Amino acid sequence: MAFMVKHVVGGQLKNLTGGLTEEKPEAEKSDAGAKGMTQEEFEQYQQQLEEEKQEREAHFAQKKAERATVRTHFREKYRLPKNEMDETQIQQAGDDVELPTELAKMIAEDNQEEAHKQSVLGQLSNIQNVDMDQLKDKAQATLEDLKKQTENCSLM
């Protein structure tokens, strides 16, 4: 009940004053005095807080851009649609965003494995009971036979 009365009466009192009681500089001085600092120390403290806040925001933006880069990489890899928000985050970070080193190593390994799997020899190694050395020897022997036949050919 006291809350209701305070809420109703307090709101009416604020409206009656009409904003005549704005004294922010004194509020800052009282904050500095309450913390046991002089005005200069308090201003330095506020400036330091602001710098730390900017550093945190920059670090956070960098991390967001790194995450966006990872998402973009996987979207390209799996041919998924692009996301404009990710591209915007990367551009806001200044395009100097790199993948985390651990992830870059994993991606490089995956790319090597995929390149090997996509090659002819990689496809043949997936087939069971294939002797790669024997297959290579047969291929070389066939090429040599073709060369000999072309040398003996009267048309060429």
Per DSSP, the residues of 12-54 read HHHHHHTTTT--HHHHHHHHHHHTT--HHHHHHHHHHHHHHHH
Residues whose CB is less than 8 angstroms from the CB of residue 68 and which lie 6 or more positions away in sequence, other chains included: 85, 86, 87, 89, 90, 97
The per-residue pLDDT for range 100-119, each reduced to its tens digit, is: 788 788 888 888 888 777 77
Claim: this prediction has a pTM higher than 0.85: no
Mean pLDDT computed over 19-24 = 52
Place of tokens 């330091």: 48
- How confident is the model at residue 86, as a pLDDT? 87
CB 72 within 8 A of CB 90: yes
- How confident is the model at residue 50, as a pLDDT? 97
The per-residue pLDDT for range 43-86, each reduced to its tens digit, is: 999 999 999 999 999 999 888 888 888 888 888 888 889 889 98
Mean per-residue pLDDT of the chain: 78
**What gap in Å lies between CA 44 and CA 39, rounded to an integer?**
9
* Whether pLDDT at 28 is above 60: no
